[in-house]
Amino acid sequence: MGSKYDKEPCCGISLLKYVLFIFNFFLLLGGAGVLGVGIWTVISKFDYTEVLCSHAYIIATYVLIISGGVVIIVVITGCYGAVQEVKGCLLVYFTLLLLLCLVELAVGVFVYYYRGELQDELVKCMNSSMTKNYGVTGNEAYTVTVDELQTSFNCCGAASFEDWEKSEWKQNGNAGNRSVPASCCKTYSPYCSVRTHPSNIYHQGCVVGLSLIVEDHLIIIGAVSLAIAGAEIMGLIFSMCLYCHLRYEEQEPY
């Protein structure tokens, strides 16, 4: 008949506590990093979300921000469960960490898939959105955003400058004698957008520049999500190991 130690997990409780504390410290730093990347994406680095028809990019960003905030709750729960040796807290910690891991894996996989569809979606989306909404009464904020986009990226239209020929702005007479908006001009002058000669206006559409910006952000979001998810798998192992150790100790006679 074996002793009670035959069934005991290989790591001691004290060692597991230290390991879990160290892991939680780095998890907290990772959560702060995730939160920072999400906030950086929303506030500082992307000003043209109004021209995107799909909300997938913004949803992925906000999911990342929420995940970063939830990490704080997870870390507190895990540390309390380890210090007090409360199996219930460790189970809650394990469950929350598992959910976070799954969410971040899903975000990471989604953004890498979405990157492949990005340029085609932007062409369809921006062409439809810009031709219908630019220069229309009540859409002044959108018009300003498109003008800023064209000026910043040295571009004109979605796929090309020819997109403006089919626009509501052109068809309803708001364009006057202009062929394209003045924000398409290489050098602004009162009549710079009357002619579409390459010396006057940019011929390249805005999709190219905008897709590069969005793609760069998606790469960062995806990489951070997958890295944190990978680290969280280790936390799942440590927390379950400690939980099992406490359960064995509780069940075995002294």
pLDDT tens digits, one per residue of 83-115: 777 788 888 889 988 998 898 888 888 877 777
Radius of gyration of the chain (CA): 27
pLDDT bracket for residue 60 (50, 70, 90):
confident
pLDDT for res 4: 45
Mean pLDDT over the full length of the chain? 80
User: How many Å apart are CA 87 and CA 242, to the nearest integer?
Assistant: 9
Pair of tokens at residue 188: 């602004």
CA-wise closest residue to 31 among 118, 85, 100: 100
Question: What's the mean pLDDT in 166-188?
Answer: 87
User: How many Å apart are CA 113 and CA 218, to the nearest integer?
Assistant: 10
Say yes or no to pLDDT of 41 above 80. Answer: no
pLDDT for res 10: 46
Say yes or no to pLDDT of 23 above 90. Answer: no
Contacts of 130 (CB under 8 A, 6+ apart): 51, 146, 157, 158, 163, 167
pLDDT for res 65: 83
Q: Give Cα 139 distance to the centre of its chain.
A: 27
pLDDT for res 5: 43
Q: What is the pLDDT of residues 179-230, one digit of tens each?
A: 999 999 999 888 899 988 898 899 998 888 888 887 887 788 788 888 888 8
Higher-confidence position of 131 and 51: 131
Which backbone phi and psi does 167 adopt, to 5 degrees?
A: -80, 155
User: How many Å apart are CA 60 and CA 110, to the nearest integer?
Assistant: 8
Phi-psi region of 85 (alpha: psi -120 to 50; beta: other; left: phi over 0): left
